[in-house]
Structure 1
Amino acid sequence: MQKDTSLLKKKRVWIYAFLFTLTLINYVDRVSLSVASKVLKEEFDISPVAMGYLFSSFVWLYFLALIPMGYLVGRFGPKKVNGYGIGVWSVATACTALSTGFISLLTCRLIMGMGEATTYPAGARVIREWMPLKERGMATAVFHSGSLVGPAIGAIGFGWLISSFGWRIAFVVAGALGFLWLAAWLKWYSHPAKAPWLDDAERAEIAEGSVSHGAEPAQAVSLGLKGLARSSSMWAIALSHGCAVYATYFFLTWLPTYLQAEKGLTVMSSGIYTAIPYLGAAILAIVIGRLSDKAMRPGAAETGQRRMVVASVLLASSVIFLVPAIDSTWSILFVITLSLATCASAISLNLSLVNDLVRSEDDVGTAAGFITAVGNLFGLLAPIVTGYVVAGSGSFALAFVVVGALLVVGAILSMFCTRRPIGLVNTDNRAMA
């Protein structure tokens, strides 16, 4: 507890704030369409299947842009690349207010998705540069927890704005939030070696704490995308990530609709009920991330020991299987909160696992882009598959079963297939993936 208190006195706590609010705004914008879905469906006569494609659409260019954005982060740094990214997605979010039907909504979501592709590669590189190894689990959890608080704030805020002022004003407000963040980012963010507001003692602490104990500095080589793609550990992390991301997008896109359709809630009340699991999950995810750091013995992180925590939380998240058998709305929210929290922990811990196992700092952005791209291929499918399942079965029961089964598969992959370091050099000086 004393260490946690001292961290609040460190100036790098502002980097934690940047990371948290970056994903918070990112996910406020993502959930906006879900909260507005009922109003948009009625105004533009959008079918459930078409709505599924609309929910999924922002992932299409997001998925394609992730690996290129990871490369750009490695080449030009997170400040510049992420700055352009949030500028693009904020414009697209605000322009959604000008939509006149399905096609214009689709266009805005596609552009928004392309802009948001900078977030996770840039965030992973920021964590690698700024956080000592002993803090990376918690730092990544704080970073990703913004993706949980964002939907909570978005659900309540959008519910209120839509009910009070209409859906168009809600999208303008969401876009404006991004530009406020961008102004602060451009003014104050820098690499720790160049940040004028960072004192020399903390700068030295960051540099010393970031040294890997699993490999000598001379052994670390940049693999590039081809080298990373040859790593079995990278693919196992990516597929495990995909199982968790599928569940996340299921919650993000269909939870408000589920509460409105099967529990009879209004737009405003469904927003509040959607917010409860996300807020609870955000707190639990940070706690789990901190515990994963404390559980790591010196040198254990670089040998993939964090994978056991990832597997455990994915298995716990499969409790979502129980939802179709529960009648009480509050009991359903409890189960969803537990599932969402452990699922979110798996996503953040997988990003930490990448930082643990990838030896070269230059590869971190590309590696984060790689697993996020593969993960979001699953995320792209989640709203569409759910739309077909709900339309075909007439309820959400089978959709919850699909999510639970994928989470079990992800747990198995994490436990048994993410052991090997990524980017060592053997005795013949040849790069090993």
Structure 2
Amino acid sequence: MSLPNSPTTTEAARPQASGPAGKRRTNVRWRLFLLLLVLVAVNYIDRGSISVALPIIQKEFNLGPEMVGLLLSAFFWTYALMQVPVGWLIDRFGPRKMVTASCVGWGAATAASGMAGGFLSMFIARMAIGVTEAGVMPAGGKLNALWMHSKERGRGATILDAGAPLGAGVGGILITWLIAAAGGWRMAFIIAGILTVVLGLAIWWYVRDNPREHKAVNDAEAEYIEASHRAEDEAAAAQGATTRRGLLPYMKFRSFWAMCFGWLGFNGVFYGLLTWGPLYLSQAKHFDLKTIGWSTFVIFGAGFIGEILGGTIADKWRESGASANKVMRTLLGISSVVVVGGLVGVTVVPDPITAVILLSVVLFFLRWVGLFWAVPATLGGRTNAGVLGGAMNLSGNIAGMVTPIAVGFIVGATGGYTWALLYFVASAVIMGISVLTLDYSKRLPV
């Protein structure tokens, strides 16, 4: 996302194929974001692994729906509570250190979850995964602000966030295969944790906090990014919005709250389907473990494709001269309407294949809201993108805390999933109101 165009901003922010003296620029920023895509995908494979294995774990630990909901929520309590502190740490120490520590830590916690002996030890392990994974998405939002040209941040945001549906989709197949190959869910979790630690080392090796610090970035690419930053800084200076701030000054603005509630509504739908989706397919549609894996792949794979497409449409439309508000409100408004309609459809269709198709359509359009990861940089600039990204993700993960528990009690009380799906519809309505309220065109003057 970019700031409103002025003569200075437009000239500096217009993408060019080459840099100073006609030298062709490198594209390290895109390779870095592909690595972050893999990182976020692994993040969601690990956090969603329990949902895929849940039919087995539920029987082994003898858990009712209410206890299942509580177990699924454990991750989100610590993950949410860490968002604002970790956002401040990212702004203070840089995203490279924080995302590396996060990756290594959650790999160790995932492996530990494979050794859980019962509900309590699994609950504690899931809370540890929440603490250690907390830095990934705010750090990614910060890197989007630091590495991407203002006209490329829509794609940067959606490449980063597309790892969520990709990980959820691939994870459905990968974890079911790993469970079969390793002889059970415990060894599958341990292997997944070890591989995650290895990925953390790769992150430390390749990621840098500044394009100039990366050996593979040439002057043309660095200057291309820095020209966009200078244009943004000039516009921000005119608004008096260039210094590092805490979170409190932003809380008086409507756009801050629209950002938070939009992400809360989005995650009310996404985390609900991520945590309870496999069990819904098992209990309501009578799918076996293998069919659950493939259905999850189709549903969340559609979300991955939709998110990448949404980011590309947004950036191309912006490059054609459309305003930020026109692009974002149109795309995300369409997204909200389709998500609401699709979820209502799932509640009334009995056929399991049709339900999978409708959920795939829901995820395709829902993931357009991944464009929100460009919003912290828009509202707070590079300096405050970390703390605003943390606040946004805190809001989203309040939905992560509440939704699994709420669905557990709804399913336990009603014996079915209809009212749980209507809970997701209400979350989508909150998302829709918020995405149409937010002003995407300017930095907040704090």
Asked whether the two chains share a fold, i.e. TM above 0.5, the reply is yes
Structure possessing the higher relative contact order (Cα contacts under 8 Å, 6 or more residues apart): 2
Which of 296, 303, 306 is residue 284 of structure 1 equivalent to? 306
Which of 176, 180, 190 is residue 172 of structure 1 equivalent to? 190
Amino acid at match of 1:401: L
- CA shift at 1:11, angstroms? 2.3
Q: How does 1:86-125 map to 2 (within 5 A)?
A: 86-125=103-142
Aligned to 1:204: 223
Aligned to 2:12: none
Aligned to 2:7: none
CA distance in 2 between counterparts of 1:122 and 1:196 reads 21
Aligned to 1:256: 278
1:75-103 deviation digits (Å, cap 9, x = unpaired): 00000011111111110000111110000
Please tell me whether the aligned partners of residues 144 and 374 of structure 2 are also in contact (alpha carbons under 8 angstroms).
no
- CA shift at 1:55, angstroms? 0.5
Unaligned runs of 5+ in 1: 425-430
Aligned to 1:193: 212
Amino acid at match of 1:168: R
CA distance in 2 between counterparts of 1:246 and 1:8 reads 41
Please tell me whether the aligned partners of residues 265 and 396 of structure 2 are also in contact (alpha carbons under 8 angstroms).
yes
- CA shift at 1:209, angstroms? 3.1
- CA shift at 1:405, angstroms? 2.2
Alpha-carbon RMSD across the aligned residues, in angstroms, is 2.3
SS at match of 1:198: coil
- CA shift at 1:298, angstroms? 7.9
Please tell me whether the aligned partners of residues 32 and 206 of structure 2 are also in contact (alpha carbons under 8 angstroms).
no
Q: How does 1:2-17 map to 2 (within 5 A)?
A: 10-17=27-34
- CA shift at 1:265, angstroms? 1.1
Aligned to 1:33: 50
Q: How does 1:242-391 map to 2 (within 5 A)?
A: 242-296=264-318, 306-318=328-340, 319-346=342-369, 348-358=370-380, 360-391=381-412
Please tell me whether the aligned partners of residues 244 and 314 of structure 1 are also in contact (alpha carbons under 8 angstroms).
no
Please tell me whether the aligned partners of residues 70 and 121 of structure 1 are also in contact (alpha carbons under 8 angstroms).
yes
Please tell me whether the aligned partners of residues 238 and 370 of structure 1 are also in contact (alpha carbons under 8 angstroms).
yes
Unaligned runs of 5+ in 2: 1-14, 19-23
CA distance in 2 between counterparts of 1:366 and 1:88 reads 21
TM-score normalized with structure 1 length:
0.92
Please tell me whether the aligned partners of residues 267 and 400 of structure 2 are also in contact (alpha carbons under 8 angstroms).
yes
- CA shift at 1:300, angstroms? 6.3
- CA shift at 1:307, angstroms? 3.6
Stretch moving more, 3-12 or 203-212: 3-12
1:124-176 deviation digits (Å, cap 9, x = unpaired): 01111111111111111111111111111211111122234101111012112
Structure 1 pair 128–208 and aligned structure 2 pair: CA distance change class (3 A) = same
Aligned to 2:9: none
CA distance in 1 between counterparts of 2:82 and 2:61 reads 29
Please tell me whether the aligned partners of residues 304 and 353 of structure 1 are also in contact (alpha carbons under 8 angstroms).
no
SS at match of 2:212: coil
SS at match of 2:247: helix
Identity %: 27
The count of corresponding residues between Structure 1 and Structure 2 is 421
CA distance in 2 between counterparts of 1:310 and 1:357 reads 18
Aligned to 2:93: 76
Amino acid at match of 2:385: V
Aligned to 1:428: none
Which of 114, 123, 139 is residue 156 of structure 2 equivalent to? 139
SS at match of 2:284: helix
Please tell me whether the aligned partners of residues 213 and 302 of structure 1 are also in contact (alpha carbons under 8 angstroms).
no
Structure 1 pair 8–409 and aligned structure 2 pair: CA distance change class (3 A) = farther
Which of 55, 58, 70 is residue 75 of structure 2 equivalent to? 58
CA distance in 2 between counterparts of 1:5 and 1:44 reads 58
CA distance in 2 between counterparts of 1:397 and 1:176 reads 39
Which of 393, 396, 402 is residue 417 of structure 2 equivalent to? 396
Amino acid at match of 1:288: G
Amino acid at match of 1:85: S
Amino acid at match of 2:175: F
SS at match of 1:205: helix
Which of 249, 254, 271 is residue 227 of structure 1 equivalent to? 249
Please tell me whether the aligned partners of residues 26 and 220 of structure 2 are also in contact (alpha carbons under 8 angstroms).
no
Amino acid at match of 1:250: G
- CA shift at 1:4, angstroms? 12
Stretch moving more, 309-318 or 362-371: 309-318
CA distance in 2 between counterparts of 1:304 and 1:175 reads 43
Please tell me whether the aligned partners of residues 163 and 268 of structure 1 are also in contact (alpha carbons under 8 angstroms).
no
1:23-76 deviation digits (Å, cap 9, x = unpaired): 101100111100111111111111111010101110001111000000000000
Please tell me whether the aligned partners of residues 65 and 114 of structure 1 are also in contact (alpha carbons under 8 angstroms).
yes
CA distance in 1 between counterparts of 2:103 and 2:48 reads 16
CA distance in 2 between counterparts of 1:163 and 1:66 reads 35
Please tell me whether the aligned partners of residues 212 and 302 of structure 1 are also in contact (alpha carbons under 8 angstroms).
no
Please tell me whether the aligned partners of residues 52 and 176 of structure 2 are also in contact (alpha carbons under 8 angstroms).
yes
Please tell me whether the aligned partners of residues 304 and 421 of structure 1 are also in contact (alpha carbons under 8 angstroms).
no
Aligned to 2:10: none
Structure 1 pair 390–324 and aligned structure 2 pair: CA distance change class (3 A) = same
